[in-house]
Amino acid sequence: MIRFNSIGVPLGDGKFRPLRMRGVSDLICCVRGTFLAIEVKKEKGGKLSDYQKAFLDTVESVGGKALVANSLDQVIESVNLIRKEKECS
């Protein structure tokens, strides 16, 4: 699993240099050959930016799975579903 530093690169003076690509999900992983992008949001008030929506749409359009997760249970459930799908195929 890869975690992207979504706030940018620290410059040491309390400021950050922004990342080159905006909207990349917080967690990127591969589950039995299936690319999974996970955007983590708090339950109340967590909204996707247009860049995040576009990234998740792109992931799904090329055959990956995209998840907006509000809890660890959602992530575990999604990973288990992908594993189960791969067992059947």
Q: How far is CA 11 from CA 14, 15, 18, 44, 66, in A?
A: 7, 6, 10, 31, 31
Q: What is the pLDDT of residues 37-66, one digit of tens each?
A: 999 998 888 899 999 999 999 999 999 999
Residue 55: its pLDDT value, please?
94
- Beta strands at 16-17 and 9-10: parallel, antiparallel or unpaired: antiparallel
pLDDT at 6 over 70: no
Residue 86: its pLDDT value, please?
83
Q: To which residue do tokens 């905006």 refer? A: 22
Residue 4: its pLDDT value, please?
57
- Count other Cβ atoms within 10 Å, centred on residue 75: 17
Residue 8: its pLDDT value, please?
67
Residue 37: its pLDDT value, please?
95
Domains of the chain: 21-88 (3.40.1350.10)
Residue 9: its pLDDT value, please?
72
Residue 39: its pLDDT value, please?
95
